[in-house]
Amino acid sequence: MKCSYLQLLFIALMALITFNADAQTLKLKNRVKINTPVSSGKVDDSIHYYFATGRGSNKMNDTILYDSLKVYNVKSGASLLFREYRMYDAKNNVQVFNQYDGVGLNLSDSFTYTLSNKLLTLRHYERASATTPGPIRLIRNYVNTYDVKDRLILEESAYYKPGVDTSYEKWYHFYDANGRVTSDSARVQRWTDSIFRNAINYYYKYNTSGLLVERLQKIWKDSLSKYDSGLVTTYFYDINDRLIADTARTKTGFVYETHEYDYDGAGNMLNDTGRIYYSSSPTLIFSETYTYTNTGNLKTKYYHTHSAGSSSYGDQLLIYNYDTLLSVPEMSEIQNVALTLYPNPTQSILNIKAKWKAEGELQGAVTDMQGRVVMRWSEKADEQYNRQIQLAQLQTGMYFLNLSCGDEYTVKQFVVR
């Protein structure tokens, strides 16, 4: 099914799943990726996750989900590729997402929400150069509009291409009396002018059980000055209302793409096999195969892609490792650091109060939105740590206080105005 970038991100932000086994909470500890050839066993990269609560990752999605996650590291061998941080509001919504690489702040997203916690705006920033430090610049801006029933009816996005112009895209969503989407309509403004043009429409049909059974695509043709039929996708379900196949055909009836899905007795997906046709025989075949632990958590995800009549060229294996809550010390350590900053926002001083599990050598640093260290100190710290730092030399903006003591670590956002 068609999803815009904003929809995919919104789904990822909102989906929260906890795994339980034998009354213990399992938490995703790390994920290892092995690329082609998988048989070599060579690790391409690995992700180590740090949580602040007992939440885990969606077992059908290797993107970490955003409950109270504070930081995770992505490594290639022993080398750190990047580190990501997330800051939250009082309702546990992500407000700021920052990614740092070896150069500095690589990209940043900021979010706002409606009173009912629906995503309202998203602003995406990227660093101008991938190899040198510097300020980040606004690349995309998203704004959502909802109706009185809190249904998403309009997605607006602006893409800023430095030195060229700005392009815009609007997606309109329409619903039936049961709240199901009946159609989506996109209009775009190109780089070259300020005119919004028709682009693409989707129309949806449902069965009596409310399951999607058909999606019709209509594509605007400038040469015809009207919409022309695109792909028609038909969906098939088993007696348990699980999707088992879908087929996309052109307006002439030619089969363009098919998918088949298999499940185990617990309803976990085992296989997703897809085929794309440019002739009567499949031109490209791709599959995803899943295995699970005995408690139902995703254990491996294997991608296999090849052209018809040729050997595999796109294999990738993802391996997921879990720990119970009590056996992952970094999780509880991060959670147990009681850190208070005040006043926040501030103008010239910041008071710090932290409680550590034991005394030790404390390392403190303040970093700006570009990831640059603007202040650093170290000192002996008791379990009850208090310090006041002077900020008069800092410009207005958002900063991050980073504290570590022994094997405990915490980070918190503050604002200078």
User: Burial, 391: exposed, middle or buried (Cβ in 10 Å; 0-12, 13-18, 19+)?
Assistant: middle
The closest alpha carbon to 144, from 318, 305, 350, 4, belongs to 4
The full set of domains in the chain, from first to last, is: 5-326 (no CATH), 337-416 (2.60.40.2550)
133 Cβ contact partners less than 8 Å away, ≥ 6 residues apart: 103, 104, 127, 370, 371, 372
What kind and span of H or E run contains 332? Answer: helix 329-336
Q: Are 285 and 306 in contact (CB under 8 A)?
A: yes
Half-sphere exposure of 44 (CA within 13 A, CB side): 12
What is the CA 324 to chain-centroid distance, rounded?
24
Say what the pTM is: 0.66
pLDDT of residue 16: 25
25 Cβ contact partners less than 8 Å away, ≥ 6 residues apart: 18, 19, 54, 56, 324, 325
Beta bridge partners of 25: 20
State which residues of the chain have pLDDT below 70.
Answer: 1-28, 36, 39-42, 48-81, 88-90, 92, 163-164, 191-192, 308-313, 323-337, 369-372, 406-407
Q: Are 253 and 270 in contact (CB under 8 A)?
A: no
The closest alpha carbon to 262, from 245, 247, 284, belongs to 245
pLDDT of residue 324: 56
Tell me how far apart the alpha carbons of residues 366 and 375 are, in angstroms, rounded to a whole number. Answer: 5
Q: Are 285 and 303 in contact (CB under 8 A)?
A: no
329 cis-preceded (ω within 30 degrees of 0): no
Q: What is the pLDDT of residues 11-66, one digit of tens each?
A: 333 322 222 223 234 566 777 888 767 766 667 777 766 554 333 333 333 333 33
pLDDT of residue 117: 84
Q: Are 298 and 320 in contact (CB under 8 A)?
A: yes
